[in-house]
Amino acid sequence: MLDIIDLEIRNLSPEEKEKLFNQLSYREYPRTIQLNEKHKSFEDWYKYRISLSEEEETADIYELEEEADLLEDYNKWVDYSENAKYKFQGYFNKTQYYQNLDQALTYYFKEYDDEFIYFQKHHKNSLYNQIIKNHNKLDLYWDYEDVLKRLPEKVKEKIFISILRHIRDDQKFFEEWEKMDKAEQKKSLKENYFYSHMTKDLENYKNSKFFFVKPEEICEKFDNPEDEYILFALKNPVLAPAIHWEFGPALNPHYYVNNWILREHEFAEKEKKYRLEQGEKFEISNVKMKM
């Protein structure tokens, strides 16, 4: 069964797919789909194959093959290989290769859920926006803030603990302020900020459960810490994919509308199948009557 990303990509015209690719290709690395500099076209592959076959004295056999068979062989060889046309860096640092633009866009969005959410909201012809517009469902036009308002506190705690697990030493990070003694707190401020006057503001942060550290920047204390920490992670290009991968539907503001789209698609497919079956039965009965 197709998922919502498959349906959204299928919904795009060839021109829209190219435009989307161009937009994503200008994104900052590693969040970018690129043309693979190692890509080998059908012509490149054919010349290479002929050169190998000449060494084996079997060139005539390959030259006699039908073009359709050769294309099939080429596609099998190039698909998902390092010679495919498109590539992008996955969240877990594995480079992925795709010969087909539909595949490249689909798997890019499956790797980066936050990018897909942004695309759905900002592409005027997305299935998501069509549902909102056609059914006048602006009350379901949610953002992350709307999702957090409806999340139980226990779920928020689990999400926040997960955020802490995914933060690396060289990234922005949180400190458990209550577990640090004053000497360590002052040391942390000095080491991370290089602002000597920051230690004077130490008392302002004593009542905060977590302290948000931004290296070489002025520190932040949130009024509604748990929600704002999570919002920070959801809008952070490094943390967002990992959080979405773990908590998926709970944090997706488009979850209900996407389910609606999938149900409508499933119903349309069943109706189409039923009509085809009825049409076949009608044709068979006509044949019997003629006999």
Residue 125, domain member (yes or no):
no
Flag whether pLDDT at 122 surpasses 90: yes
- pLDDT for residue 199: 39
User: What percent of the chain is modeled with pLDDT above 90?
Assistant: 31
Q: How far is CA 227 from CA 29, 221, 258, in A?
A: 29, 12, 24
pLDDT at 191: 46
Mean pLDDT of 204-218: 44
Neighbours of 13 (CB within 10 A): 9
In a domain, 73, yes or no: yes
3-state secondary structure at position 208: coil
Q: What tens digit of pLDDT does each residue of 24-75 get? A: 998 777 788 999 998 888 888 777 777 766 555 554 455 545 666 777 887 8
Q: Are residues 156 and 97 in the same domain?
A: no
What is the mean predicted confidence (pLDDT) over 12-17? 96
Tokens of 64: 């006699």
271, part of any domain? no
The pLDDT mean for the chain works out to 76
Say if residue 190's pLDDT is above 70: no
Whether residues 101 and 9 share a domain: the answer is yes
Same domain, yes or no: 23 and 70: yes
124 within a domain of the structure (yes/no): no
Give pLDDT tens digits for 172-184: 444 444 455 555 5
Q: What size, in residues, is the chain?
A: 291
User: Do 154 and 236 reside in the same domain of the chain?
Assistant: yes
Q: Which residue has the tokens 């997960």?
A: 162
Task: Tell me the helices (H) and strands (E) count for the chain, helix number first.
Answer: 14, 5
Asked if residue 264 belongs to a domain, the reply is: no
- What pLDDT shows up at residue 16? 96
Identify whether residues 108 and 177 lie together within a single domain: no
* Residue 137 in domain: no
Residue 263 in any domain: the answer is no
What's the pLDDT band for 112 if we cut at 50, 70, 90?
very high
- Does the pTM of the predicted model rise above 0.75? no
- Domain membership of residue 287 (yes or no) is no
Q: 181 burial class (0-12, 13-18, 19+ CB within 10 angstroms)?
A: exposed
Domain of 224, in residue numbers: 144-251
Total structural domains in the chain?
2
Confidence of residue 11 (pLDDT cuts 50, 70, 90): very high
Q: Is a pLDDT exceeding 90 seen at residue 98?
A: yes
Mean pLDDT of 1-22: 93
Bridge partners of residue 97, in order along the sequence: 87
Whether 167 and 239 map to the same domain: the answer is yes
Q: Is the pLDDT of residue 4 over 70?
A: yes
104 and 180, same domain (yes or no): no
Residues 219-249 pLDDT 10s: 444 455 678 888 888 888 888 888 998 998 8
